[in-house]
Amino acid sequence: MAFKIFNTLTRKVEPFKPLHSGRVGMYACGPTVYNFAHIGNLRSFIFADVLRRWLEYSSLEVKHVMNITDVDDKTIKRSQDEGIQLFELTRRYEKAFFDDFSALRIRQPTIVSRATEHIVEMIELVKSLMERGYAYATEDGIYFSIAKFSGYGKLANLSKQQAKELKPGQYSRIAADQYEKEEMRDFALWKFYKPEDGAVFWDAPFGRGRPGWHIECSAMSMKYLGSSFDVHTGGVDLIFPHHQNEIAQSEAATGKQFVKHWVHCEHLLVDGKKMSKSLGNTFTLRDVVEHGFSPLAFRYFILSGHYRTQLNFTWDALKASQETLERLNDFAAKVRWLIKQLTEQKVPLKARSPDPGLLISINDSRKAFIHHMDDDLDTPQALTAVHEVVGVANKAIDSGRADIESLGKLNELIVMFNKIFDVLGLEDTTLNESDAEMVAERERLRAARKYKEADVLREALHKRGIRLEDTPYGVRQRHEKGM
């Protein structure tokens, strides 16, 4: 089955077909860097990362562009509240954002574009819209006339009657970058300078000022991906007004379809409620770590839910994800250890009677994993396919019936899974000299049938974070100092 994904524009799960064979242009709405990103923001970036990885796994070359909104109403106000220059504030939180990216193993986009470094492109786009009659000047800025754009409302799912009733001058203007869905208003493309802006302004043919939020993404995405490109991602909260306005201004300027596939990630709830400062339930990745959880446990938790379904965050749910991830890490390490044991023939051949069902289960799991990922990035079902084969494999391993061929295929499946989900640590740790000598001494004591003395060493190693596991394949060392 070829890859299919839900398109917000058509409201259908449809085949993903790039505009250019073998190549994908992908734009992801990036952060507004005036504060730390909260975990709801991070959900959309994890989703975009997995989408990109799956496209690349499907043999497509992905050009991934992400913006940094480093000038808008929020950044200006926050910098003034703190009494610092705009770039000081935005660089601070940009760094914090990419620290989160690194901790969550989100790949760096091909191009990261700051709004303040693309003012020329924004001015040119506003000029084009004015020349084409879609934009008009007022006492406080340049506005886009939504009534003059016949396609306005498609992405936001406006009714045909609403669209039909749009008439020039019918709707009032709104200067704010963000507003409520009920507010159907012409939006600011360029905001003329006012004293409250301080030192934040640029000179333009139509007046000194700064760009509106919506024009930023259109100008930067089209610079790097062209007038039309394949996929635009973001959270569902961006559908209206931001993404709807991006479509209007971009298509009004070029006369071409702006984006072929619009893909949106649902909200992350906290204890069943939307995050808000008033409820005190807005958490960052720093809060996750301070509560004793791994960032990768949070990544795993996010991928345990389908991107188009609201996901409820609780600390208990995150704990369950961390425990599950620890078991998966241990299983992956066990498979690597077994392969080494069998390859080096540390286990007598007579002790290995292969389980014929294991290889079948591995092949079935691989097919199921690919099928579910191709089916609208169904990460929960893809995870289920992996957990099912883990159950089968553990039974074969515990009975001493896991063979080298099956284990090799199983390791390949684990590597493939982690190439997309990237939640496992697939590098083995080694014992220091002192611990290695204790392990060796325990084995010598066991060989001499001095089991009590051997148990004393086993307990001492356990206290040092090393658990010894006696298996049909030999003694395995498990490290329990974290993932």
- Higher per-residue confidence, 33 vs 178: 33
Q: State whether 94 and 237 are in the same domain.
A: yes
Q: What is the pLDDT of residues 380-400, one digit of tens each?
A: 999 999 999 999 999 999 888
Q: What H or E segment, with its residue span, contains residue 333?
A: helix 315-343
Tell me, what's the pLDDT at 351?
47
Is the pLDDT at 427 greater than 80? The verdict is no
Looking at the structure, tell me whether residues 412 and 437 fall in a common domain: no
The answer for 391, left when phi > 0, alpha when psi is -120 to 50, beta otherwise, is alpha
pLDDT of residue 459: 78
Percent of the chain surpassing pLDDT 90: 73
Longest dimension (CA), the chain: 94
Paired tokens of 320: 């369950």
Range name among 125-134, 174-183, 344-353 with the lowest pLDDT average:
344-353
Closest CA to 386 of 359, 414, 409, 424: 414
> Is the predicted pLDDT of residue 204 greater than 80, yes or no?
yes
- Sequence-separated (6 or more) residues with CB below 8 Å from residue 438: 457, 460, 461
Dihedral sign for Cα 250, 62, 55, 106, please.
negative
* Three-state secondary-structure class, residue 276: coil
pLDDT score at 162 = 56
- Please give the tally of structural domains in the chain: 3
Both 95 and 231 in one domain: the answer is yes
Whether residue 248 is contained in a domain is answered as yes
pLDDT at 1: 65
Pair 293, 322: CB distance under 8 Å = yes
pLDDT value of residue 165: 57
Radius of gyration for the chain, computed over Cα atoms and rounded to the nearest angstrom: 27
Last residue of a domain, one of 421, 443, 466: 421
Enter the tokens of residue 179: 């507003």
Residue 302 lies in a domain: no
What does the pLDDT average to over 63-72?
98
pLDDT above 70: residue 91: yes
- The reply to whether 35 and 10 lie within a common domain is yes
Give the whole-angstrom CA distance, residue 421 versus residue 416.
9
Q: Looking at the domain assignment, is residue 453 inside a domain?
A: yes
3-state secondary structure of 38: strand
Write out the DSSP string of 209-250: EEE-HHHHHHHHHHHHH-SSEEEEEEEGGGIIIIIHHHHHHH
Average pLDDT over residues 125-146: 96
User: Residue 80 above 80 pLDDT?
Assistant: yes
The pLDDT value given to residue 480: 65
Q: What is the pLDDT of residue 431?
A: 66
Residues 226, 330: one domain?
Answer: no
| CATH number for the domain harbouring residue 83 | 3.40.50.620
Q: Are residues 451 and 401 in the same domain?
A: no
Considering the domain architecture, whether residues 408 and 464 belong to the same structural domain is answered as: no
* pLDDT higher at 143 or 159: 143
In the numeric block, which tokens belong to residue 482? Answer: 């974290």
For residue 168, is pLDDT > 70? Answer: no
H or E segment at 141? strand 141-144
What token pair was written down for 450?
Answer: 């001095």
> Both 470 and 403 in a single domain?
no
483 falls in which pLDDT band (50, 70, 90)?
very low
CA distance 230 to 332: 36
- DSSP state, 378? -
Q: What is the mean pLDDT of the chain?
A: 90
Task: Kindly report, residue by residue over 232-279, the tens digit of the pLDDT.
Answer: 999 999 999 999 999 999 999 999 999 999 999 999 999 999 988 778
What is the token pair recorded at 115?
């709004």
Residue at 392 is within a domain: yes
Same domain (yes/no): 175, 29 = yes
Residue at 285 is within a domain: no
Residues 53 and 146 in one domain: yes
What pLDDT score was predicted for residue 429? 65
**Whole-structure pTM value:** 0.91
Are residues 91 and 209 both part of a single domain?
Answer: yes
| In-domain check, residue 181 | yes
- Residues, the chain: 483
- Phi-psi group of 58: left, alpha or beta (phi > 0 → left; psi -120 to 50 → alpha; rest → beta): alpha
120 domain-assigned: yes
Share of the chain above pLDDT 70, in %: 91
Domain that holds residue 13: 4-265
**Cα distance between residue 386 and residue 361, in whole Å:** 10
Average pLDDT over residues 302-318: 98
Q: How far apart are CA 392 and CA 424, in angstroms?
A: 20
Going by C-beta distance under 8 Å and a sequence separation of 6 or more, which residues neighbour residue 143? 135, 136, 137, 173, 186, 187, 188, 189
Does residue 209 lie in a domain region?
Answer: yes
Q: Are residues 363 and 461 in the same domain?
A: no
Domain edge (last residue) among 217, 246, 265: 265
Span 98-134, pLDDT tens digits: 999 999 999 999 999 999 999 999 999 999 999 999 9
Contact 400, 352 (CB under 8 A): yes
